[in-house]
Structure 1
Amino acid sequence: MEPETSKFTQSLKAWRKNRKLSQLELALAADVSQRHVSWLETGRSKPSREMVLRLSAAMEVPLRERNTLLNAAGFADVYREQQLDDPAMASIKTVLAEILKHHEPYPAFVLDRYWNIQQQNYAADRMFDMVGGAEALWQAVGDTGERNIALLTVHPHGFKQFVQNWDDVAIQFAQRLQKEALDSCDERIMRRLEQLSAYLPQSDVPTLEPLLPIIPIELNVNGLHLSLCSVISTFGTAQDITADELRVETFYPANEHTADFLAGKV
């Protein structure tokens, strides 16, 4: 078996198991025969470029890792990675700016795959000001130059100190981070998760379903009580790695008092 073929077979099998798919289930999702999937995993057959892309799409492999699978099969990258400041990304920046603007007066953040803040709206600035200012918070949690919202959330000197229902929120937040890390199969994300693990609940036992469809984040900032919930949005048809990895986290008021406060009515 050639080295490239061996790398591809191992990677294909790893992704299929990560997605908890049988060979038959993957074959059905990719519209190929189970025998062909089996032969690809054993190296008996070599994949075409189109087959790598078809299997990757069926397993919802992130674009960055699709390039890795292509390379393992002996093919060049298909997906480009451009910085947000590149001219080709102007339309993406415009969309993000509109999302952030239209979400006012509620906080919103643009995050990369490592949970670093790339952009935020004025309402997010005001939220930082409420708890002592952004720079003071970053210094308190250990300023590394990266503005990591996951660290800021779980660190005892970050937002955690203001969350009244931390035990409930922490379990849900930990499960979200763990799922994102496992779904990505990205070693850097796994290392980041390990760094955060000291502040997260250590349990693999599924939690009981909450009585509410979501668990609001109950904040107490110097006697000011606010209740928020968050929504994560992504680009559903991204063809660029950077766009594929961006996440927009928007916060909404979970009660009328919070809505009025954020709108400046109280």
Structure 2
Amino acid sequence: MTLPSPSPTPAGMLLREWRTARRLSQLALALDAGLSPRHLSCIETGKAQPSRGMLARLADALDMPLRERNALLVAAGYAPSYPETALGTPALAQIRRAIEFTLAQQEPYPAFLLDRHWDVLAANDAAQRVNRFVMHGRASAHANMLRQFFDPADLRPAVANWEEVAGELIRHLHNAVAAAPSDAKARALLEEVLAYPEVPPRWRSREPGAAASPLLTTVLRRDGHELRFFSTITTFGTPRDVTLDELHIECCFPVDDATARLCRQLAQEDAEAPAA
């Protein structure tokens, strides 16, 4: 009697999905993780049960985020390894102070704290001043940076080089979706922003290997004034918590003296304004 072939386990299916997303063959991933291609094939098809250590080696080779590593462990029947601590809890008080210090130090230039879906979790006063200035005193309707840039009723009309900036944001979002195949929220966000008016149809397809701009300048414009910024991204090194793994701080720096002067002017006007 022929025994039925084992069905792929949830962990095996996840590994194959991630390997495909990373464009790796079984041989390439096996070599990177230090196991035989046959053993990897058995894990993917459900013929072999991987140990926690083996899953950790495969996750390292696939460069999986901590949230996805937890999902892989759970799919294999193990407890997750990495906690997910709310940013407002006492355990992360020092991290919050570091974030607040970084945002404050960036004054009078904008800085934002964002999560992996580009939700703006915090921003310094400069970010709010610049937004109010270019949006004629209106507040943004969105707490998500991608929605702000793509919504014609939000920040988008103030971005003089919108197609260049939005195209780079779409490239990053496509890469995020490809890098985390199980991230339904990122995939839904991609579909949402692509549905906004006058988004070029070519942006619906990812361009694998497309080179990133070495220095992308965002140009904001209002009534003959221009603000030109480039950004740097700060992340937390070797995080052991899912929350920290998914946070980054974006700091905007003036490209020219005119932008620096206008930012200082806006800060001075804000300081001199009578209290409400």
Task: Report the TM-score, using the length of structure 2 for normalisation.
Answer: 0.84
* Alpha-carbon shift at residue 2 of structure 1 (Å): 6.8
Alignment counterpart, residue 176 of structure 1, candidates 172, 176, 191:
172
Task: Please tell me whether Structure 1 or Structure 2 has the larger radius of gyration of its CA atoms.
Answer: 2
Alignment counterpart, residue 118 of structure 1, candidates 117, 121, 131:
121
CA distance in 2, matches of 1:64, 1:25: 24
CA contact under 8 A between 2:6 and 2:45: conserved in structure 1? no
CA distance in 2, matches of 1:232, 1:109: 10
Say what the alpha-carbon RMSD is for the aligned residues. 2.4
Alignment counterpart, residue 15 of structure 2, candidates 8, 12, 15:
12
C-alpha distance after superposition, 1:180-203 (max 9, x if no partner): 222222011111221111234331
Gap runs ≥5 in structure 1: none
C-alpha distance after superposition, 1:207-235 (max 9, x if no partner): 9869x732311221122111112223322
SS at match of 2:160: coil
Residue in 2 aligned with 1:24?
27
Residue in 1 aligned with 2:225?
224
Gap runs ≥5 in structure 2: 269-276
CA contact under 8 A between 1:235 and 1:243: conserved in structure 2? yes
Same amino acid, percent of matched pairs: 37
Q: Report 1:1-266 matches (<5 A).
A: 6-130=9-133, 131-133=135-137, 135=139, 137-138=140-141, 147-185=143-181, 186-199=183-196, 200-203=199-202, 204=205, 206=207, 213-264=214-265
The 3 A distance-change label for structure 1 pair 57 and 175 is: same
Letter in 2 for 1:132: H
Letter in 2 for 1:92: I
C-alpha distance after superposition, 1:111-152 (max 9, x if no partner): 1122111111111121122123453x31xxxx6xxx111101
CA contact under 8 A between 1:170 and 1:201: conserved in structure 2? no
Figure out how many residues of one structure are paired with residues of the other and give that number: 256
Q: Which moved more, 1:54-63 or 1:252-261?
A: 252-261
CA contact under 8 A between 1:171 and 1:201: conserved in structure 2? no
* Alpha-carbon shift at residue 44 of structure 1 (Å): 2.1
CA contact under 8 A between 1:233 and 1:247: conserved in structure 2? yes
Letter in 2 for 1:202: P
CA distance in 2, matches of 1:96, 1:247: 10
Letter in 2 for 1:196: V
Task: Report the TM-score, using the length of structure 1 for normalisation.
Answer: 0.87
CA distance in 2, matches of 1:27, 1:49: 16
